[in-house]
């Protein structure tokens, strides 16, 4: 009886983790352009180089679709990237690192990153885990700096 109760509680305890979305997001009140500048500065403060801003919204509007402001900021660290590729060239599938910036209702600007940790299970290469963990940690810290936390 106690074992069954324990099993039930264990299932309940694991539920929130399984239900998490693989996206981490923050938001703040700001002008879109200023928010984009803040993001570039936060990326640089963490030792990464912003390489490109891809205006997804411009492409959509040019094709006749309505779109909120939607920009993708690509970034990377050459040294870390080269070391990871030397371990497993297929890590390139995860690159470049990216953060999405977008306008949300009420004038707030949102920023989101993918949760890279699920890729550790998919690559199944223990040597890659510290690299993926660092990119995830840094990306989250960039989001926090952007949000002013």
Binding stretches for other proteins (CB under 8 A): 1-2, 4-5, 7-12, 14-15, 18-19, 21-23, 25, 49, 51-52, 54, 56, 59-60, 63, 65, 67-68, 70, 72, 76-78, 81-82, 85, 89-90, 92-96, 98-100, 102, 112-114, 118-119, 121-123
Nearer to other proteins, 96 or 134 (CB): 96
Nearest to 143 by CA among 101, 94, 96: 101
Q: Cβ-count burial of 32 within 10 angstroms (0-12 exposed, 13-18 middle, 19+ buried)?
A: middle
Alpha carbon distance 102, 67 (integer Å): 10
Alpha carbon distance 127, 139 (integer Å): 20
Alpha carbon distance 28, 30 (integer Å): 6
Alpha carbon distance 114, 25 (integer Å): 9
Per the DSSP assignment, residues forming a β-bridge with 108 are 29
**Residue 57 C-beta: closest distance to other proteins, Å:** 10
Nearer to other proteins, 27 or 38 (CB): 27
The helix (run of H) or strand (run of E) holding residue 59 is helix 56-62
Nearer to other proteins, 7 or 34 (CB): 7
Nearer to other proteins, 33 or 58 (CB): 58
**Residue 19 C-beta: closest distance to other proteins, Å:** 6
**Residue 84 C-beta: closest distance to other proteins, Å:** 10
**Residue 32 C-beta: closest distance to other proteins, Å:** 15
**Residue 27 C-beta: closest distance to other proteins, Å:** 12
């Amino acid at each position: 009886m106690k074992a069954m109760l324990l099993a039930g509680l264990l299932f309940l305890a694991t539920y929130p983790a399984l239900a998490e979305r693989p996206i981490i997001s923050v938001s703040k009140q700001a002008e879109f352009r200023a928010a984009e500048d803040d993001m570039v500065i936060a990326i640089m403060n963490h030792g990464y180089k912003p390489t490109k801003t891809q205006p997804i919204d411009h492409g959509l509007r040019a094709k006749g679709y309505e779109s909120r402001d939607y920009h993708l900021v690509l970034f990377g660290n050459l040294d870390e990237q080269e070391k990871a590729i030397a371990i497993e060239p297929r890590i390139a599938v995860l690159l470049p690192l990216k953060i999405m910036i977008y306008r949300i209702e009420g004038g707030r600007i949102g920023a989101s990153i993918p949760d890279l940790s699920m890729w550790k299970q998919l690559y199944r290469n223990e040597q890659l885990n510290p690299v993926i963990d660092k990119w995830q940690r840094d990306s989250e810290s960039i989001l926090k700096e952007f949000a002013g936390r």
